[in-house]
Structure 1
Amino acid sequence: MNTGLLFPGQGSQRPQMLHDLVQHPAVDETLAEISEALGIDARTLDSADALRSPVSVQLALFAVGVSTARALQRSGVRPFAVAGLSIGAFSAAVVAEAIELSDAIRLVRSRAEQMEHMYPTGYGLAAIVGLSEAHVNRLVISVNTTEHPVFVGNINAPLQIVIAGSIEGMKAVLAKALLQGARKAELLDVPVPSHCPLLQPIADSLRKQLEAISVQDPKVIYISNVNARAVRTAKGIAKDLADNIAHGVRWHDATSIAQELGCELLLQLPPGHTLRDLAQENLSNIKANVITPDNFDKLLHLVLS
């Protein structure tokens, strides 16, 4: 069965997520490799205190995704395609064998540290459910100012849009959205304005870092964040990993492309279930599930049968 692996982004984290993974030698080996590269035990990244920092959050999400995916691969699963939302793109690139684990760790750490230092307070993300991208874009344009910048960020579903920017600017958009029929409009637990032009300096830094490492053509289809297209070249991978921090993520389009290319089953890597839910709610005739320790063997049987 053609299977796509989906790697979640920041906001899906939870305490102890690195302690609740499937019991598999590949998980232990991968976490040991990550710990050696970081110089600390990777499992210390998922405490409630540690997860207050975007650096710990992003490194922990990367570790969870890659270690679980390697357990699948060691068990015989060869993904047909991979896609990662935001920081999940780095896990996807490693699983696609486009970049080495050690290089990805350095990139993820650099990305997160720059995000934390650039916008320590007063900025973040918010979600609007029930209004179209065009509708939200009009609201953003009506509110956006130099003092309180706000932008359209992720298009998670046709009627689920994430905005990014200053807290004050986003609150103004959320208030208008509720008045104009949004079912939900709320700030998210993400303290940085990801996927908007405010983070262009980080994209420029990542581009320079990617030029200094070895990036290979992916061994499986990699679906990009920025333009939601299948990427099959090293150049395309490097461009997406650098640019996605300063551009919106077209997640719904990405999963639609995965289905059009032939994915019959979409598996969300831990933690959380949001990507599975989005697929089930917005894609017709697709199977989607979340990988957990309890269903790992059952999913293996489904994929390999």
Structure 2
Amino acid sequence: MSVAFIFPGQGTQSSGMLHHLLDHPAAIRTLDEISEALHFDVRDLDNERCLEFTDAVQLALFAAGVATARALIAEGVRPAAVAGLSVGAFAAAVTAGVLELRDGVELVSLRAKEMAKLYPTGYGLSAIVGLTECQVEAIVRAITSEQTPVFVGNINAPRQIVVAGSNPAMDRVLDEALRQGAGKAVRLHVSVPSHCPLLQPVADLLGKRISAMNLTAPQMTYVGNVNARAMRTKELVAHDLVNSIAHGVRWHDATTVLQELGCNLFFEMPPGHTLSDLANENLSGVNSVPVKAAVLSRVLRLAQQEEANT
């Protein structure tokens, strides 16, 4: 029985998210280090105006994840494995020791800016709840076209599927999903078509940049986005970080692998509770807890109990 750290992706951001982190020296020091790398205070990115922009959102999520993970580790919480959804994977890779913090900042900044530059308007993500992956794939195949492309993106749960693509095509997919019995079909607060072939140029740029970086073997198991496999070499982690932007994320499978590795206590880095809701609803025997300042004592107590039972 072990602990896993899980890191959320874009769409979970909220105003003030970096000002509501754990008041811990390790978290404060991490935010300061990220600010030095950026040449401005990363805390300035968590207001409503800035969070309308992809680069601010992704950097803020990255900062929140790494800062909180380092605070927990400083308090003696030792994860056996890490996994991050989308941009959360970069925070997971830094926490696992594969990437230096500055390199993580550089890659996240490059990734977000290039995504926004490639598709500044007219594209995004949508979520469909209540249909299976096969059902959504069939709808997408019937609607996608060269002029208005749409793709199956993330598989967050057996019946929670994210699609990515052009707004007109996504609108048609959502309408058809509701007609076929979806309980919910909505646009997400994400303005770029993440995790589909439209973003292969961004993956290519990331691949060139990460190949010049000094990577280190992971200090804990990293579970990937694209194939949801346990990864224990720096090469495999780098490949996953680069390629996930142009491929769908098999998040439910990734959390299933965490459970199969013996992790039954997940700590979700801030902000929000989306990943914990998914785990608690879809993985029997797993307890997933969002880490917030108000529940730090409970988080540490759960971690101590888990260690005692190991």
Sort the TM-score into its range (normalised by shorter chain).
over 0.9
1:68-114 residue CA offsets vs partner (Å, 9 max, x unmatched): 00000111111011000000000000000011000010000000000
Task: Quote the residue 2:21 is aligned against.
Answer: 21
One-letter amino acid of the structure 2 residue matched with residue 281 of structure 1: E
Partner of 2:213: 213
- Paired with 2:16 and 2:98, the residues of 1 have a C-alpha distance of 29
The CA distance in 1 between the partners of 2:221 and 2:64, in whole Å, is 21
Q: CA RMSD in A?
A: 0.6
Counterpart residue number, 2:37: 37
- Cα deviations across residues 54-75 of structure 1 (Å, max 9, x unaligned)? 0000000000000000000111
One-letter code of the match for 2:177?
Answer: A
Match of 1:295, SS state, is: helix
Q: Distance in 2 between matches of 1:299 and 1:272?
A: 15
Q: Which position in structure 2 is the counterpart of 1:148?
A: 148
Write the distance in 2 (CA, Å) between the matches of 1:222 and 1:83: 6
- 2:184 equivalent to 1:184: yes
Distance 1:138 1:199 in 2: 22
How far residue 146 of structure 1 moved from its aligned partner, in angstroms, is 0.5
Which residue does 1:256 correspond to in 2?
256
Distance 1:114 1:286 in 2: 37
Give, in whole Å, the separation in 2 of the partners of 1:80 and 1:125: 32
**Alignment partner, residue 308 of structure 2:** none
Give the SS at the match of 1:185: strand
Give distance in 1, aligned partners of 2:34 and 2:304.
Answer: 28
Give, in angstroms, the shift of residue 216 of structure 1: 1.4
TM-score when normalising by structure 1 = 0.99
- Kindly state the Cα deviation for residue 137 of structure 1 after the two structures are TM-superposed: 0.1
Quote the residue 2:86 is aligned against. Answer: 86
Paired residue type of 1:248: G
Q: Give, in whole Å, the separation in 2 of the partners of 1:238 and 1:25.
A: 29
TM-score, normalised to structure 2, is: 0.98
Question: After the TM superposition, which segments of 4 or more aligned residues of structure 1 sit over 3 Å from their partners?
Answer: none
Percent same amino acid at aligned positions? Answer: 55
1:3 match: 3
Aligned-partner Cα distance in 2 for 1:256–1:79: 16
Per-residue deviation, 1:301: 1.7
Cα distance in structure 2, aligned partners of 1:304 and 1:212: 39
Which letter maps to 2:81?
A
What is aligned with 2:202?
202
Q: Distance in 2 between matches of 1:147 and 1:108?
A: 29
Count matched residues: 305
1:304 Cα offset (Å): 1.9
Question: C-alpha separation between the residues in 2 aligned to 1:83 and 1:201?
Answer: 24
SS in 2 for 1:214: coil
User: How far, CA to CA, are the matches of 1:210 and 1:177 in structure 2?
Assistant: 39
Q: Which AA in structure 1 matches 2:203?
A: A
